[in-house]
Structure 1
Amino acid sequence: MSHIEESQSPPANFRILDLFAGPGGLDVAAHVLGYEVTGIEWDAGACTTRSAAGMDTFHGDVRHYRAAFFPLAEVLTGGPPCQTFTVAGHGAGRRALDQVVQYIEQLHEVARPKNADWMEIFRTWRKISEELRRKELEAKEVRAEKRKVEELRATNRKAMRIRLEELGRSPNQVKSFLKGLKAPKDLEIPDDDDELKGLLKAFSDLDDGLNALKDRLEELGDERTGLVLQPLWWVIERSKRPGSKPYEAVILEQVPAVMPVWKEYAKVLASLGYRTGRQLMHTEEFGVPQTRRRAVLMARLDPTAPPNGLPTDLLPDVPASHERYQPGGPSTRPRKASHSDTLLWEVSEEDSEEAPKESWVSMELALNKARKISSGKVYERPDFTVVSNYGTGGDPEARGRRDHDAPSATITGKVSRNRLVHKGTDDDLAEFDRFTHAEAGVLQTFPVEYPWSGNDVSQQIGNAVPPRLALHVLQHVLVPELRGKKARGRLKRAAEKLESWKPAEPVKPRGHRGLKGHPLTGR
Structure 2
Amino acid sequence: MVNRSTKIKLNAIDLFAGCGGLSQGMHDAGFHTKVAIELEPVAVKAYKLNHPSTHVIQKDIRDISAREIKNFLGNEPLHLLAGCPPCQGFSSVRRLNKKQSVRDDRNNLVLEYFRLVKELKPIAIMMENVPALKDYYLFKEIVKELKLLGYYIDIEVLNVKEYGVPQSRRRLVMIGSLFGKVGMPTPKNKKATVRDAISNLLPPDKSNDPLQKIVAKHSDSVTRRIELTPKDGGSWKDLPKQFILNCHKKEGVGFNDVYGRLRWDDYSTTITGGCLNPSKGRFLHPEQNRVITPREAALLQSFPKTYKFPIDIPKHSLALLIGNALPPKFSYFQSKNIASHIKSHQPNPQ
Letter in 2 for 1:366: A
Which of 247, 251, 267 is residue 407 of structure 1 equivalent to?
267
Distance 1:369 1:316, change over 3 A: farther
Instruction: Looking at secondary structure, tell me which structure has more helix per residue.
Output: 1
Distance 1:435 1:15, change over 3 A: same
Letter in 2 for 1:23: C
Report how far residue 13 of structure 1 moved.
1.6
Which of 416, 433, 436 is residue 293 of structure 2 equivalent to?
436
Distance (whole Å) between structure 1 residues aligned to residue 81 and residue 286 of structure 2: 45
Distance (whole Å) between structure 2 residues aligned to residue 366 and residue 92 of structure 1: 31
The correspondence of residues 144-183 of structure 1 with structure 2, limited to 5 A, is none
Distance (whole Å) between structure 2 residues aligned to residue 94 and residue 383 of structure 1: 36
- Which structure's CA Rg is the greater one? 1
SS in 2 for 1:68: helix
Distance 1:45 1:32, change over 3 A: same
C-alpha contact (below 8 Å) 1:383/1:404 kept by paired residues: no
Report how far residue 10 of structure 1 moved.
7.7
In the alignment, is residue 266 of structure 1 matched against residue 148 of structure 2?
no
Distance 1:225 1:383, change over 3 A: closer
Distance 1:95 1:384, change over 3 A: closer
C-alpha contact (below 8 Å) 1:288/1:469 kept by paired residues: yes
Distance (whole Å) between structure 2 residues aligned to residue 235 and residue 375 of structure 1: 45
Which of 30, 41, 66 is residue 34 of structure 1 equivalent to?
30
Distance (whole Å) between structure 2 residues aligned to residue 447 and residue 461 of structure 1: 12
2:113 maps to what in 1? Answer: 231
1:62 maps to what in 2? Answer: 61
C-alpha contact (below 8 Å) 1:9/1:34 kept by paired residues: no
TM-score (norm 1): 0.49
Distance (whole Å) between structure 2 residues aligned to residue 393 and residue 12 of structure 1: 56
Report how far residue 31 of structure 1 moved.
2.0
Distance (whole Å) between structure 1 residues aligned to residue 267 and residue 36 of structure 2: 30
Which of 308, 315, 323 is residue 451 of structure 1 equivalent to?
308
Report how far residue 83 of structure 1 moved.
3.8
C-alpha contact (below 8 Å) 1:19/1:39 kept by paired residues: yes
Distance (whole Å) between structure 2 residues aligned to residue 420 and residue 92 of structure 1: 25
2:81 maps to what in 1? Answer: 76
Distance (whole Å) between structure 2 residues aligned to residue 256 and residue 288 of structure 1: 18
Distance (whole Å) between structure 2 residues aligned to residue 405 and residue 92 of structure 1: 29
In the alignment, is residue 17 of structure 1 matched against residue 13 of structure 2?
yes
SS in 2 for 1:395: coil
CA root-mean-square deviation: 3.5
Letter in 2 for 1:318: P
Report how far residue 225 of structure 1 moved.
3.4
Percent of residue pairs identical: 29
Distance 1:13 1:375, change over 3 A: farther
2:165 maps to what in 1? Answer: 288
Report how far residue 54 of structure 1 moved.
3.1
Deviations 1:284-318 (A, max 9, x none): 1000000001101101112xx6xxxxxxxx44222
2:284 maps to what in 1? Answer: 420
Letter in 2 for 1:48: K
Distance (whole Å) between structure 2 residues aligned to residue 10 and residue 443 of structure 1: 35
Distance (whole Å) between structure 1 residues aligned to residue 97 and residue 162 of structure 2: 32
Distance (whole Å) between structure 1 residues aligned to residue 157 and residue 252 of structure 2: 22
Aligned length: 285
1:138 maps to what in 2? Answer: none
Distance 1:64 1:482, change over 3 A: closer
Distance 1:396 1:293, change over 3 A: closer
TM-score (norm 2): 0.71
Distance 1:95 1:367, change over 3 A: closer
The correspondence of residues 312-331 of structure 1 with structure 2, limited to 5 A, is 314-321=181-188
C-alpha contact (below 8 Å) 2:275/2:323 kept by paired residues: yes
1:249 maps to what in 2? Answer: 124
1:395 maps to what in 2? Answer: 254
SS in 2 for 1:52: helix
